[in-house]
A and B are shown apart, each in its own frame.
Chain A
Amino acid sequence: ETGVTQTPRHLVMGMTNKKSLKCEQHLGHNAMYWYKQSAKKPLELMFVYSLEERVENNSVPSRFSPECPNSSHLFLHLHTLQPEDSALYLCASSLFDREEYGYTFGSGTRLTVV
């Protein structure tokens, strides 16, 4: 257990469903990230929150909507997803401006869109 907790661990949803992924950390970090991990592709950065403000959105489709209510919690709201959105979604946290320590990751949510 690294200190970053993601729920649920697995999620199967239909294309018309709405669901949310949750990420929580109590490491005192103040930056949080969503990454998408698909087979045979590098990890893709989706969203960055630094000091609770979104600072990066890498051209992610609007069917993915992040929310960061405080520095300890991060959500990814999902709606009308496509089968190609099936992937492992990883949350990470770090100390802003202390990049030398790298990021701490959760175990991810395995999402399957049917």
Chain B
Amino acid sequence: AQTVTQSQPEMSVQEAETVTLSCTYDTSENNYYLFWYKQPPSRQMILVIRQEAYKQQNATENRFSVNFQKAAKSFSLKISDSQLGDTAMYFCALISGNTPLVFGKGTRLSVIA
């Protein structure tokens, strides 16, 4: 079975600082995809960044980057230059094999002015 674990229920960061959200996962598949989704108070789940397991290079999208450690099954999200609009729930998610998207419990991030 595929599982995703986020061990930080809540985090906070000062505006303009950097924060890292942790995620570990488990799958027996060799080919899979990892995602970070953001859910602001508007409730819409927004794709932030994705990583393909067969790519060693860490994905980057503007201020968002990941640290993908395949052997450790770790997939952390780094947010640089945090902005007030980054305040949201962040979900780590995994697709592998024929299994639909599986989510972690989420991390509530608060950006403080």
Contact across chains for A100 and B100 when beta carbons are under 8 A apart: no
- Residues of chain B within 8 A (CB-CB) of A99 are 33, 95
Contact with B along A95-114 (1 / 0, CB 8 A): 00001111111111010000
Q: With A99-B95, A102-B33 known to touch, is A107 a contact of B103 (CB < 8 Å)?
A: no
Instruction: Report Cα–Cα, A104/B37, bound state, in Å.
Output: 10
Given contacts A48-B100, A100-B52, A102-B35, contact A43 B91 (CB under 8 A): yes
Chain A residues in 8 Å Cβ range of B106: 42
Contact partner of B105 among A33, A40, A105, A110, CB < 8 A?
A: A40
Closest chain-B Cβ to A85's Cβ sits at a distance in Å of: 18
Within 8 A of A (CB), among B59-113: 91, 93, 95, 100-106
Given A100-B50, A100-B52, A102-B33, verify A107-B42 contact (CB < 8 Å): yes
Q: Is the CB of B95 within 8 A of A102?
A: yes
Contact A45 B100 (CB under 8 A): yes
Report how far A51 CA is from B91 CA in the complex, Å.
27
**Interface membership of A59, Cβ < 8 A:** no
Is the CB of A56 closer than 8 A to any CB of chain B?
Answer: yes
- The answer to whether A2 touches B46, judged by C-beta atoms less than 8 angstroms apart, is yes
Number of A residues whose C-beta is below 8 Å from B? 23
A48–B100 Cα distance when bound, in Å, is 8
* CA gap between A110 and B42 in the complex, in Å: 11
Question: A-contacting residues of B (Cβ < 8 Å)?
Answer: 4, 33, 35, 37, 42-47, 50, 52, 91, 93, 95, 100-106
* 11 pairs from A and B in contact (CB 8 Å cutoff): A40-B105, A42-B105, A45-B100, A90-B45, A92-B45, A99-B33, A100-B33, A102-B101, A107-B42, A108-B43, A110-B43
